[in-house]
Amino acid sequence: MRYFSKVNVKELHATPKAYLFEIGEVEVWIPKSLCKNYNGYSAYIWTKVLKENLKKSTVGSTSLQLGITLDLNQQQLKEMITLCHPDKHMNSIMANKITSILLDKKK
């Protein structure tokens, strides 16, 4: 486990392949394949990916403001989530924010 760091996390959302965790005040997507021993409040996350994703998520996050009003049906939401998912956009801040907003609208 020396390549993994134990991190206290809050799970915000999960897909079949990844978790959206809140770590401190930062939201990051972490692939499930790189999480070990996740128990609902902490996980061992591959250190290299953790550092990279935290860095990507914090760059410019204070200046990023999104105000979006959506009136979409469930199929349209699903398609938009597929188009802007962070896995397709190198885990960018914008992709994380938009995907999070869309997932909240899907509920």
Whether 34 is in a domain gets the answer yes
The band of 37, judged by pLDDT with boundaries at 50, 70 and 90, is very high
The pLDDT of residue 58: 57
The DSSP bridge partners found for residue 23 are 26
The pLDDT of residue 17: 92
Nearest CA to 91 out of 16, 46, 28, 33 is that of: 28
40: domain range?
4-58
Total domain count for the chain? 1
Q: What is the pTM of this model?
A: 0.53
Distance, in Å, from the CA atom of 64 to the CA atom of 55, rounded to the nearest integer, reads 15
The pLDDT of residue 56: 73
What's the average model confidence in pLDDT over 83-91?
Answer: 84
